[in-house]
Amino acid sequence: MYQETKISRQKRRNQRIAFGIFTFFSYFIVAILFSILAFLIVKGFGAISWEFITEMPKEGMTKGGIFPAIVGTLILVIGSMIFAFPIGVMAGIYMTEYVKDGWIKRFIKLMTNNLAGIPSIVFGLFGMALFVNKLEFGDSILAGALTLGLLALPVVIRTTEEALKAVDNTFRQASLGLGASKWQTTRKVVLPIAFPNIITGLILSIGRVSGETAPILFTVAAYFLPKLPTGIFDQVMALPYHLYVISTSGTNIEASREIAYGTALILILIVLICNILANRLRKYLSKKVKKY
């Protein structure tokens, strides 16, 4: 019969203590994070109404809605994606399908990683120096969207690369063996298989871009502008900047709390929806791709 020794008893006790601590802290931290989320969501739902989403801010931004900020953020996200998506995907294709392993690839990779690590406020400085002042776009949608696009670029590149790398090499070999060219192989074989993962990455980066504040502070965001933009050289309000303004420097901070909770909820919802959408779409599309 197996007799439990002193050592093995000790071993078991240590393990129980350690695992107890880990489990406790994990649930503790998850509980904290989710109580933050729950708090903001519950508070926010009280503020949200149809008027809140569709009306202009009123009475020094203490009443009314946040319609121009929603539209502004939407425009900025679309604008930045028009810039970042094609370039990012093409760069990803170049990195995985075309360039051979060597110093060029290493260099580009290093630069992309560094770009991803640069703080968003530095993008704001750069956007202001280049787009606003040097190229004289002024505070405009164009300057803001380009700055946000640069910020999103490394994310798009990385997702594309990962999606393409996940495609089995036999597909490429089969296609090339049948006499297809490199581009034909990429376009007709590799890209369709990688498409679900690429599109998922794109949606996730939309979530990220829509909440960024620091890059738009000095390139596009307007403190208070109760009308919709008419061209790409106009300023717009944006959701994250609006939340910052009404919670720290608005005309009446206490009176605009309600609006602030609502705005925070909208920002959280954008991220949530992007995540859910990305997951659903990935599942749906990868089922479709499997048919091939």
Partner 1 sequence: MRKKFQKFQEKFIEGLLMLSGTITSLTVVLIIVFLFNEGLGVFNNKPIDEGYILAINKSNSVKKLSALQIKNIFDQKIKNWDKVGGPNEKIVLINIDDISDYYTEIQLGKDFENLHFCINDYINKHKGVIAFFSESSLPKKFLGKVINIDNIKLSEFLLDEEWFPTATPVAQFGVKPLILGTLWVSFGAVLFALPIGLFAAIFLSEIAHKRVRNILKPLIELLAGIPSVVYGFFGLVIIVPLIQQVFDLPVGETGLAGSIILGIMALPTIITISEDAMRNTPRAMKEASLALGASKWQTIYKVVIPYSASGITAGAILGIGRAIGETMAVLMVTGNAAIIPHTLLQPVRTIPATIAAELGEAGAGSVHYQALFALGCILFIITLVINLTVGFVTKGKNQKKH
Q: Which of residues 26-85 bind partner 1 (CB under 8 A)?
A: 26, 28-30, 32-34, 36-37, 39-40
Q: Is 87 an interacting residue with respect to partner 1 (CB under 8 A)?
A: yes
Half-sphere exposure (Cβ direction) of 241: Cα atoms closer than 13 Å: 25
Give the nearer residue to partner 1 in terms of CB position, either 141 or 265: 265
Q: Is 111 an interacting residue with respect to partner 1 (CB under 8 A)?
A: yes
Q: Is 99 an interacting residue with respect to partner 1 (CB under 8 A)?
A: yes
Gap between the Cα atoms of 198 and 143, Å rounded: 26
Give the nearer residue to partner 1 in terms of CB position, either 17 or 53: 17
Give the nearer residue to partner 1 in terms of CB position, either 139 or 234: 139
Neighbour tally for 16: CB within 10 Å: 10
Residue for token pair 């994310």: 155
Q: Is 272 an interacting residue with respect to partner 1 (CB under 8 A)?
A: yes
Instruction: Tell me the closest approach of the beta carbon of residue 54 to partner 1, in angstroms.
Output: 22
Of the candidate residues 48, 61, 81, 93, the single one contacting partner 1 (CB under 8 A): 93
Give the nearer residue to partner 1 in terms of CB position, either 45 or 107: 107
Gap between the Cα atoms of 152 and 83, Å rounded: 9
Size of the site for partner 1 (CB under 8 A): 87
Backbone angles phi, psi at 27, to 5 degrees: -70, -35
Please answer whether residues 45 and 36 qualify as being in contact, where contact means their C-beta atoms are separated by less than 8 angstroms: no
Instruction: Tell me the closest approach of the beta carbon of residue 252 to partner 1, in angstroms.
Output: 15
Q: Is 134 an interacting residue with respect to partner 1 (CB under 8 A)?
A: yes
Q: Is 23 an interacting residue with respect to partner 1 (CB under 8 A)?
A: yes
Structure token pair of residue 172:
């490429």
Give the nearer residue to partner 1 in terms of CB position, either 102 or 117: 117
Of the candidate residues 162, 211, 226, 228, the single one contacting partner 1 (CB under 8 A): 211
Which residues ranging from 149 to 188 are in contact with partner 1 (CB under 8 A)?
Answer: 150, 153-154, 157, 181-183
Give the nearer residue to partner 1 in terms of CB position, either 68 or 207: 207
Of the candidate residues 130, 228, 232, 277, the single one contacting partner 1 (CB under 8 A): 130
Instruction: Tell me the closest approach of the beta carbon of residue 291 to partner 1, in angstroms.
Output: 26
Q: Is 267 an interacting residue with respect to partner 1 (CB under 8 A)?
A: yes
